[in-house]
Amino acid sequence: MQKKQFRLFLLISFFLVSGSDLMAQMAEKIQPIFDNGEAQVVEAFADPENWIRHDLWVETTFDSDGDGKLDRMHVDVTRPKQTETEGLKLPVVYESSPYYAGTAGLGDGIFWDVKHELGEMGKPRQHPEVLRIGERPVISNSQIRTWVPRGYIVVHSSSPGTGLSDGAPTVGGDNESLAPKAVIDWLCGRAKGYTERDGNQEVKAYWSTGKVGMTGTSYNGTLPLAAATTGVEGLEAIIPIAPNTSYYHYYRSNGLVRSPGGYLGEDIDVLYDFIHSGDKSKRARNNKVIRDTEMKNGLDRITGDYNDFWAGRDYLNDMAPMKAALLMSHGFNDWNVMPEHSYRIYDKAREMGLPVQIYYHQNGHGGPPPIEMMNRWFTRYLFGIENGVENDPKSWIVRENDERDQPTSYKDYPNPDASDVTLFLTKGAPAQGGLTHNKPNKQGKETLVDNYSFSGSALAEAEFTNHRLIYVSPILTKDLHISGIPKVSVKLSSSKPAANLSVWLVSLPWTEGRNTQITDNIITRGWADPQNYQSITESKPLVPNKFYEVTFDLMPDDQIIPAGQQIGLMIFSSDKEFTLWPKPGTELTVDLDGTTISLPVVGGKKSYIEATYEDE
């Protein structure tokens, strides 16, 4: 063979071999794996030694700390090394929080005093310092071990005025929606990120596909909804877990000043102080503008009325631009962020035609859906895998004593087979009256005396007491399934111009621990200010001894009351764990003939009659 031909042969052979190697290398590139409609754990993604972790600051469109510069949010990223070594682009699971960098202690004086008459402010409260904790570059490790091995990138950010993020916390203000929007815009190439808080060296999210999902619990579950209400492009799906969807509904009930369960005396300014872990040099200004002006003028602990301040912190009012697919999760016995928060958003999103599902369990605050549900949701909307999740049942309820990863599916929530059954009251104070679906002859009036010294559970257990009125159904001979939102209408008068009104629906006899999944024997409950009998936006002092009709919803529920129990409607005034504590002695008189409760019973009136053996 001539030398020239030999060189050509070698050259061709080299390219053939190199091309083969290149094709082999391409074939060996690590990619996400899907099975049964879910992203699977990939060994190459699962080793933390192969993760790339870094932090940066994303520039927003607002200046909430008033320093003349656009606020920047502190962000961290955790991604498989293949996003760097192989140019792999992946979708993002994103969680934002005001809690990552530390919070204030819950010492004496941080909460509002509750021992005073309605219509008063109580003693001034203390404002504690928040000490920031944590070091760069890691903001949080949440979500990482769940999602990075399955082929996602995980991103965290500290919300405005917390940690190393600029700005001021507003607890539901516009900047708390626009901050995660800016991070999503950066992930989609529409906003700028920087390597330093005050620097000019840009960093780009070249490893992102531009598909983002958000999740988190409590406040961290609120922020996905906040971001979604901006309509930001790229936020494809959210999974809020026990989210606070309205700060009015968190700190008030139907015009009544009410604390979240476990935090008696908390209000929105308390939460502001609790999370304000940002730049110390900005706190005095932030406190003056946000806490001591906007919040002080807006929160209105005097009347408890719904006003523009609260309307601006109610995400239901901002949902029109929302496009993200919504999977909600909540506990029916969450008396901190109560189950109405998720239902009201789910109901609106369903009305808007968005892809929706709701998962309810029988426990308290927190509790995500099973990982399989979350995985199917994110796989469908972030990876675009056609797994049919949009055709799955909309409602998933963890039945009593079932494991949380074994929910029962229903076509929707409330159960479509449920219909309202109106129940009437028969007299019996100070012991028990009756609860019947047959409207009785005239029953007259019964009176209770307010006394915050007695807890709601003590009142429900008592055989005789003049501090509550209680009306019970016949003993159930069959299980009774309640699904939906009970509604109560109470016709009452007060001996004073203002009074608390508390209503519990309970299962009797009261036997602690009758069910490990259910909090005591409480089915559901609700609170209202009789002064707001016409509207939650305007309260009017009660004319003593004049009767008013107060109608309001109790918290959503889906519960099977077992045979052998009785359903009890308990009406009382001050609820020791939730309301203000006025001086004992206020008398509430209830007109039994003008008072009813409507129960959403699966199977309707027929099922109720069969379970109680009441004749038509």
489 is catalytic: no
Mapping DSSP to helix (H, G, I), strand (E, B) and coil, where does residue 357 land? strand
CA distances from 150 to 92, 153, 281, 508 (A): 11, 9, 41, 47
CA distances from 180 to 273, 298, 469 (A): 21, 25, 48
> With contact defined as beta carbons under 8 Å apart, do 404 and 370 qualify?
yes
Task: Please tell me the number of Cα atoms within 13 Å of 142 on its side-chain side.
Answer: 18
Q: What is the dihedral of CA 535, 537, 542, 546, to 10 degrees?
A: -10
d(CA 397, CA 358): 8
The one catalytic residue in 365, 493, 502, 539 is 365
365 is catalytic: yes
Write out the two tokens for 163.
């940690």
CA distances from 457 to 77, 125, 509, 519, 560 (A): 47, 29, 12, 11, 20
51 Cα distance to chain centroid? 31
> With contact defined as beta carbons under 8 Å apart, do 159 and 169 qualify?
yes
Chain position carrying tokens 């979240």: 260
> With contact defined as beta carbons under 8 Å apart, do 371 and 239 qualify?
no
> With contact defined as beta carbons under 8 Å apart, do 342 and 161 qualify?
no
Residue 247, sorted as left (phi over 0), alpha (psi -120 to 50) or beta, turns out to be: alpha
First to last CA, the chain: 109
Q: Which among 270, 205, 214 is positioned nearest to 241, based on CA atoms? A: 214
Where does residue 421 rank: exposed (0-12), middle (13-18), buried (19+ CB within 10 A)?
Answer: buried
The one catalytic residue in 142, 218, 493, 494 is 218
Residue 134, sorted as left (phi over 0), alpha (psi -120 to 50) or beta, turns out to be: left
Task: Please tell me the number of Cα atoms within 13 Å of 416 on its side-chain side.
Answer: 7
The one catalytic residue in 71, 269, 279, 334 is 334
410 pairs with which residues across the strands?
395
d(CA 210, CA 187): 6
Residue 381 main-chain phi, psi, to 5 deg: -95, -15
Catalytically annotated residues: 218, 334, 365
